[in-house]
Amino acid sequence: MLATNGRLKLALQRSGRLTDESVQLLRSCGLAFEHSRQSLSSPCSNFDLDILAIRDDDIPEFVQDGVAHLGIVGQNILSEKQARTRALLPLGFGYCRLMVSVPERSRIRSVRDLAGLRIGTTYPATLRAFLKKQKVAAKIVKLSGSVELSPALNVADAICDIVSTGSTARMNGLRPLLTVMESQAVLVAHPQSLSDKRSGQLIERLLIRVRAVLEARGKRYLMMNAPADALPKLQKVIPSLKSPTVVPLAVSGMVAVHSVVAEDVFWDVMERLKAAGATDIVVVPIETIVR
């Protein structure tokens, strides 16, 4: 299932919150392509892949219909469009939550209190499924934007909208009540393009790269020198040093030790390694980890 030119097509958001990180991720995978907001399709010069830049609302349908083999889109859009696509990988960016918020002074305290009320949203399908699961009958008011203004305009009693910090809701006198869904960007595929030999192979090659880039995110490569007899102590500090790379140094009794550490614990680990006898600690970024 490949387009006539035998190339894979991947759809990403043309211009918006997910665009830069989507492009960055693909470039980190070694894909060379021009990205301009003006062009709909950009060919990769070193992989049989064309990048389609389209509205994110259209991505689920494009992938469902096989116009694109792959897409990068928020789970929130995927859920709302209810398109038949196969989710391959969460991508670790574009985090947000779809939340129900209510006017600050309202008496609504729980999902039950929404029964019989009007909820304004641009996510009617996702909200409907959520309310059904909660067995709450509320009226869904479909809006196409400016959702947070709807309670003040008396169009709705509550809203269901995307929130990342909650500051927009607060600025509009709203209080977050509950989370309908958590979301991040995901890589999705047209199901048939996975089983097709040629497109399936190309997707598999691309997936190996994407996984390797994601695996390396938030990790650092750590090198240090230490007296050979300090090794047991160093291993206690970094559990991943079960099988560390240990290289003898020219100075007898000294070794170089290499390992990978998570970025968020690095400073803490470094202090403890120093206390355990490590010196000359060097930390370098990692671009990819292929397992």
Neighbours of 156 (CB within 10 A): 24
Which of residues 75 and 259 has its CB atom nearest to ligand AMP in the complex?
A: 75
Q: Does 179 bind ligand AMP (CB under 6 A)?
A: no
Distance CA 151, CA 134 (A): 22
Kindly state whether residue 162 participates in binding ligand AMP, applying the rule CB under 6 A. yes
Using the contact rule CB under 6 A, the part of the chain among 12-20, 58-66, 131-139, 189-197 near ligand AMP is 12-20
Neighbours of 251 (CB within 10 A): 9
* CA-based radius of gyration for the chain: 25
The arrangement of strands across the sheet holding 41-43 comes to: 41-43, 49-54, 8-13, 70-74, 185-189, 86-90
User: Could you tell me which stretch among 10-18, 125-133, 139-147, 190-198 binds ligand AMP (CB under 6 A)?
Assistant: 10-18
Q: What angle do CA 178, 102, 170 make, to 5 degrees?
A: 95
Question: What is the closest distance, in whole angstroms, from the C-beta atom of residue 21 to ligand AMP in the complex?
Answer: 10
E-strand ranges in the chain read 8-13, 41-43, 49-54, 70-74, 86-90, 96-103, 118-121, 139-142, 158-163, 174-183, 185-189, 219-227, 245-248, 254-262, 279-285
Q: Which residue is nearest to ligand AMP (CB)?
A: 74
Options 64, 121, 183, 259; binder of ligand AMP; rule CB under 6 A = 183
Of 96, 143, 147, 276, which lies in the binding site for ligand AMP, with binding defined by CB under 6 A? 96
Contact between 188 and ligand AMP per CB under 6 A: no
Query: Is residue 17 a contact residue for ligand AMP (CB under 6 A)?
Result: yes
Asked whether the beta carbons of 167 and 173 are under 8 A apart, the reply is no
Is the Cβ of residue 42 or residue 168 nearer to ligand AMP in the bound state? 168
Site for ligand AMP contains 16 (CB under 6 A): yes
- Beta carbon of residue 57, minimum distance to ligand AMP (angstroms, whole number): 8
Using the rule CB under 6 A, which residue among 60, 71, 74, 244 binds ligand AMP? Answer: 74
Residue numbers at the binding site for ligand AMP (CB under 6 A):
16-18, 56, 74, 76-77, 94, 96, 162, 164, 183
